Structure formats: structure tokens, C-alpha cells
A and B are shown apart, each in its own frame.
Chain A
Amino acid sequence: MKKIITPLTDEIVRSLKAGDEVAISGVVYTARDAAHKRLCELIEQDKKLPIPLQGSVIYFVGPTPAPPGKVIGSAGPTTSSRMDNFSPILLAAGLKGMIGKGYRGDAVRESLKKYCAVHFAALGGAGALLSQYIISAEVVAYEDLGTEAIRKLELKDFPAIVAYDSFGNTVFKKVGK
């Protein structure tokens, strides 16, 4: 188990190989489909983004509401491939890592190589377990999107696997389309 701390640097990214088990600590930002669309529209219009992208990690998650006494509800990954059209744009703008479940397309894998970035897989359908590794959560943008709002999360030893590394390798038996 490799311990890594965000934000990510080229050096950290290059040390990660597909199949490595990692424990991620530090700040990550949540974003799903709707937030990705808005972020990419802002980039296209050359406008300021509501979150810093340089070295950042985005977690594809829409958590359940936090019950009393908890910082967040259930919080596992959603399907990564739905973000395939957007991720190359964010990677070009400085994004260094993503956390999701399932496959990534060719364009994303090329961008991971080009911009020295990494894609992690967290265990899909294990949102109760994964919520235990989130120590704070705060909505920082797009509150109107409800569960799809962008949240700033602080992770402590969040378990994930390097699914696609910066060298073009993957942990998956099937590489996807």
C-alpha cells in the first residue's frame, strides 16, 4: 500500500503503476456529469473556475445526505466513462488525478500519458465503507445541483487502486472502448 498525499506532482504520478494499491490523503473535489459540463464550459469561455485544478484530484461521486453526527453519507464512486468527454479538457487544464469506477476511453488514456496524470478506481457499491475515510466535506460550488454539487473533501488513507497509470497501462482485464 502506497501512501500518497494530494495535490499530486509529476513525481508522485510517475511513481504509480497500474494495479498499485494506494491510500490517498488530502483534499479532493467531487464532480459528476453536470458539474463536469459546467467546468468545461467555463474553460471554453476562458473564465475562472470555482476550484483550483493544478495538481488536483477529482472524485466522481454524488454522496447521500450526511446523517446527524456524520460529515458525509454513503460516498462511493460513480461510472467513470460518463466523464470521458470532459476529462481530457480538465487534464489539459492541470488536473492530475481522478477517482471513479470502471473503464476509461482511449482519449482519456492518451491524456493521462500526455499530461502525466493518473486514474484511480475505488470500490463501486461500497459507499458505506469508503465514507469512513472522508474526514470533512463542504460544498464549494454549484449548490443548486444537490448531490451533484462540487464538494471539497478531505480524505485520510482513502483506499483505491491505480486503474490507469501515466504510462498507458491498466489494471482491467478488458480495457474498454
Chain B
Amino acid sequence: MRTIQFDKIVSEVEKLCTTAGTQLPQDVLTALQQAEKKESNASAKKILNQLIENAKLAKLQNIPICQDTGLAVVFVQLGSMVSIQPESKTIIDAVNAGVSSGYEKGYLRKSVVAQPLNNRKNTGTNTPAVIHTQIVGGDKIKITLLAKGGGCENKSQFKMFLPTDSAEKISDWIVNVVASAGADACPPFIVGVGLGGDFEQCCLLSKIALTRNLDSKNSDPFYAQMEKQLLQKINSLNIGPAGMGGDTTALGCLIETAPCHIASLPVAVNIECHAHRHAWVEI
């Protein structure tokens, strides 16, 4: 067994929060810069330039890229040979403590209410985080954080298809989901797609897809091709940056899949805005 101190995990999560809040990841910045070069619509080009300028300013002045510093969605891969000290504390406690102090110290917005419907009182700490834990082999902990904004999350959708439905029919629906997100969800988007699994696993896949780098492809050539075709169709919608027209409606489309029931073909689309803040650490 390898012992990892609770405080060490807390401080690493804290750093992930403050870094994600103020520094746009390199893959996203590169995608914005490439899109700006290729964009044929002059006003869209100008908006993309403002987004690049915003990212640079945020990093330079250490202020959040966007005022919606998000719900902290945290994926934990916990090595089976890791023991957390003190034993009274869990990995969940550590992640929540790190999110709470990271959002406070980083002057990030606290955007969590304790109750969804009755008395929506802000918890004041941006916790609880949404935490997905997986036990893996080894003696390390990998923590991936997505600071997920509410505006784009609101436009995400799920649908059960027939197992005999065509890839074309599913693609058309995915493109429609993106079209209906439109200007409200801060395009250009990153589109996370979950195919397969069951009701809840499918939605989770669409979020896991968003943790991949934008320059990555699905390892299966069929889905890699689908990612490419979907991105082309989405970028022909003419929604454009801020929804005011242009060639750049999405910076990427990422698909994750899982086996599913013979009767089912679940599909989930998780919409992510251009302020795509993701960061990870291995302890």
C-alpha cells in the first residue's frame, strides 16, 4: 500500500480549480486560434479574436475566464493500493475540501444551491462537487476536473433511439441538439456525445468525452469518422461565435461509447461552451 496524505489531495484539487478557472487549456486556445485563421465571416473572426484576447487577459491578470466558474465535475481514478491518511477521511472529503478552498482562494464564483426546488440557497462553497469515482489498479490517484458552466449544461439532451436506427438519423438528432443550443450556450461549442450504455451511463459517457483533448480521435475508426462528419455538419449550421453567424459553431465533437442492451440505443449530447476548462493531475 502507498499512503497519501489527505492534505496533499486537498491542495492538488485546490490548484486544479484555480488553474482551470483562469487558464484556458492549450488545446482549446489552439483550436480557437486555428478557427480564427480559417473563419471566413469578418464579424465572427472579430469575436474569435476577442475570445482569444479574453483568455490571454484572464491568465495575465489571474482573473476567471468566465464569471460562471462552474460546477466542479470531478473524475477520480483511485488506485487500489492507495491508502488515505488519516483513515477517517475519504477521497470524497478530500475533493470537496479542495474545491471549497480552491473556489474561495481563487476568487471563483460559488454557483451551487443546496436544494434544486425548495429554497434555492447558495451553499457558499461551490460544494458539493459532482464526483465520479473509479477504482483502478496501481498506487496512484488521477483527478480530472471540469469546471462546467450552467448555460451550456442547460442545453444538453438525452434520447433513446431504436436499436435499428441508422447512424444518419442519430447524427441528424445530434446536430439538431446543437442547433437548438444556439447562441444561448456560448458557441463555439465542444460537443460531447455518449453512445450506448444505459440511461445514466450514456449521459456520463457524454461528459467523459469532454475530458478528452480536442486534438484526440476516438480509437475506433467508425466513431472517429462520425466525430469528423458531425463536426462538419455542425459547422455548416451558420450559428457561429456568439450565435451571430460564421463557420465556427463548434471546436470539436468527441464521442465515447459503451456496450448496451439488445433493445436499446441511448444517445446523450453534453454541450460545452468555448470556455472549456478542464485540468487533471496524477498524485
Contacts and interface: CB of A to CB of B under 8 A. Distances in A.
Tell me what chain B mostly uses at the interface: helix, strand, loop, or mixed: loop
Contact of A125 (B51, B108, B154): B51
Contacts of A148: 122
B177 to A, nearest CB: 14
B64 A73 contact: yes
B154 to A, nearest CB: 7
A137 B182 CA distance: 31
Contacts of B65: 74, 125, 127-128
B31 interface: no
B30 interface: no
A5 interface: no
Interface stretch (B132-140, B239-247, B252-260): B239-247
A65, A74, A131, A146 interface centre (most CB from chain B within 10 Å):
A74
B68 interface: yes
Contacts of A80: 184
B183 interface: yes
B66 A73 contact: no
A102 B109 CA distance: 21
B135 to A, nearest CB: 35
Interface stretch (A39-47, A112-120, A168-176): A168-176
A63 B184 contact: no
Contacts of A126: 50-51, 54, 66
A124 interface: yes
Interface residues of A, number: 40
Given A124-B151, A127-B64, A129-B54, A101 B186 contact: yes
Contacts, number: 143
Interface string A10-41: 00000000000000000000000010000000
A103 B57 CA distance: 27
Contacts of B4: none
Nearest to A63: B67
A129 B149 CA distance: 18
B107 interface: yes
Contacts of A78: 67-68, 150-151
B53 interface: yes
A81 interface: yes
Contact of A173 (B68, B150, B245): B245
A67 B184 CA distance: 28
11 contacts: A65-B109, A74-B58, A74-B66, A75-B67, A103-B243, A124-B66, A125-B51, A125-B274, A128-B58, A129-B53, A174-B183
By Cβ-Cβ distance, the 5 closest A-B pairs, closest first, are A102-B184, A128-B58, A74-B64, A127-B67, A126-B54
Interface of B: 47, 50-51, 53-55, 57-58, 61-69, 107-111, 120, 122, 124, 149-151, 154, 179, 182-186, 238-240, 242-245, 273-275
